[in-house]
Structure formats: C-alpha cells, structure tokens
Amino acid sequence: MMNYGFIGLGNMATAITCGMLRSGSFTDDKILGFDISSDCCRAAEANGVEIKKSAEDLADSSDVLVLAVKPQVAEGVYARIKDRVQGKLIISIAAGKTIEFLENGLGSDKLLVRVMPNINAMVGAATCAYTVNANVTDEHKKITEKIFGTIGTIDELPEKLFSVFTAIGGSSPAFAYIYIDALARAGVQHGMTKAQALKFAAATVMGSAKMVLESGVHPMELCDRVCSPAGTTIDGVMRLQAYGFEAAVHEAICAVVEKDKKL
C-alpha cells in the first residue's frame, strides 16, 4: 500500500486524482491532499481524497508527492516540505519549472520527476511527457507512468525537448479547439446549427487523430487518399494551403517554443 499526496487540489490535481480513483488501479492505496483553499479541500474530499491539515503533514504522510500548485507559488511550497521528503518520489507538474529548478529548491539528493500534462486530462485524454533527475529509478518511472496513465498517455522525454513538447502537447489543444470551432462556424454558414456542426467537427478531428495513431499511415498519404481526382476535397486542401494553413501552424509552434525558452 502506498500513500499518494497532492499539494494543491485545483483543476489539474482534480483531474489526476479523479483519474486515479476511477481507474481502479489504486484501490489498495490512499490518495491524500492539501490545499490552502477550503473549497478545493471539500470538493476533493467529496471525490474520495483524504485531506491533511498542512503541506508538512501531507509530506510526512505520503510516499509519493505530486506538487500541483501554480508555478508562482512553487518555491514557497518547496521550502515547507524540503526537509521532510528524503527518499520520497516528488513529481512536479508546474509548467516551466525545470529539474534544475527543482533540485535548487528541494535538493539534488531528492527523487525528482517533472511531468507536463495537458488540459485534456479533464476527460482522461491528456498527452503527458516526463523527465527525471539522476536519482530516479525504473521503479519510480513505473509509478509515474501508472499515475499519469490514468489521465491519458505518458512518455519519457529528454528535458531539452520540453519546450517543443509544451508547444505540441501543452498549447496545441488550444489550436485544435480553434480549428474545430472554425470548421463548425463554416458549417453554420452553410446551414447547420452550431451544436450540430461542433459535434460533427469534433468527432471528425478525434477520428482523424485515431486514424493517424492506429493506421501507421503517413498523414499526407491519408490526405491523398481522401482527395479523389477532380473531387471536392482537393479543392479544399489547395485552398487551405493557398491561405498558409501549415505555415500558420508552424509559426504558432515557434512562437510558443520561443516564449517558453524566455520564461
């Protein structure tokens, strides 16, 4: 039996704890939490999280600690738990906080993992990446993968790729939402209700993603297969390209990577 503690019980911790509880893979374990907001504590308790009275108390009671507070308050939390987490696995999900930053705040002798989840965790479909410091073993990696596997996919990635992962895994859901809304808005222009058009657009994007992941066929080959000679789709594809669709996506990713590197 293991105790999994969450410091900060906001949006992301709620998604993760609910994913863990729903999965049935942690029935022998306890999920504990602490948040400065009593509303968040009450909501988490209602979901099945046992609430501790302070960050220190939570650190003492946990084998694995997930730091799920906003990056701006991370250092204050490190100072409170630093002397109580020797030998415990510490997982930070704070955007932009590197392993070096964690080692400076918590000590390079600690077991430290950095995970980048994304907002689709709310529906169990996050795309997560993680990186570790030198003290972390394969067993700790398995624990990390077990936790975050309950809210989507999780892959180990060298930290030097975290900026680009932040763009493709973290920010691109926003781009995908815009694309889905643009499809739906065009559907409305041509007579559909927005609700109808959104449902079709989102389901088609989800199906297309599944096709890319499961068929193993190159996306442009899939695109060619949809474009019959002198058909309708090829006209749409050529118009998208003429309006700089791919270049706009590349620019958007570059903008996120550049900003992330400056933070």
Ligand X SMILES: NC(=O)c1ccc[n+]([C@@H]2O[C@H](COP(=O)([O-])OP(=O)(O)OC[C@H]3O[C@@H](n4cnc5c(N)ncnc54)[C@H](OP(=O)(O)O)[C@@H]3O)[C@@H](O)[C@H]2O)c1
Judged by CB under 6 A, which stretch of 62-70, 136-144, 197-205, 231-239 contacts ligand X? 62-70
Provide the mask over 116-145, with x wherever binding to ligand X is found by CB under 6 A and - wherever it is not. -xxx--------------------------
Q: How far apart are CA 243 and CA 182, in angstroms?
A: 14
69 binds ligand X (CB under 6 A): yes
Residues 61 and 84 sit within 8 Å (Cβ to Cβ): no
- Considering the complex, state which of residue 34 and residue 148 has its C-beta at the smaller distance from ligand X: 34
Distance of CA 151 to CAs 14, 81, 238, Å? 11, 26, 37
Spatial separation of the C-alpha atoms in residues 149 and 115, rounded to whole Å: 12
Q: In this structure, what token pair is assigned to residue 152?
A: 């989507």
Decide if 63 contacts 3 (C-beta within 8 A): yes
Number of residue whose CB is nearest ligand X: 10
x/- letters, 20..49, toward ligand X (CB under 6 A): --------------xxxx--x---------
Q: Let me know how long the chain is.
A: 263
Please state the closest distance from residue 135 (CB atom) to ligand X, in A: 22
CB of 118 to ligand X, least distance (A): 5
Question: Smaller CB distance to ligand X: residue 81 or 184?
Answer: 81
Residue 91 near residue 67, CB atoms below 8 Å:
yes
Nearer to ligand X, 77 or 112 (CB): 77
Contact window for ligand X (CB under 6 A) among 22-30, 92-100, 129-137, 192-200: 92-100
| Site for ligand X contains 260 (CB under 6 A) | no
Structure tokens belonging to residue 141? 């990696």
Strands (E), the chain: 3-7, 30-34, 50-51, 64-67, 89-92, 111-116, 126-132, 152-156
263 part of the interface to ligand X, by CB under 6 A: no
Q: Which residues bind ligand X (CB under 6 A)?
A: 7-13, 34-37, 40, 55, 68-71, 73, 76-77, 93-95, 117-119, 170
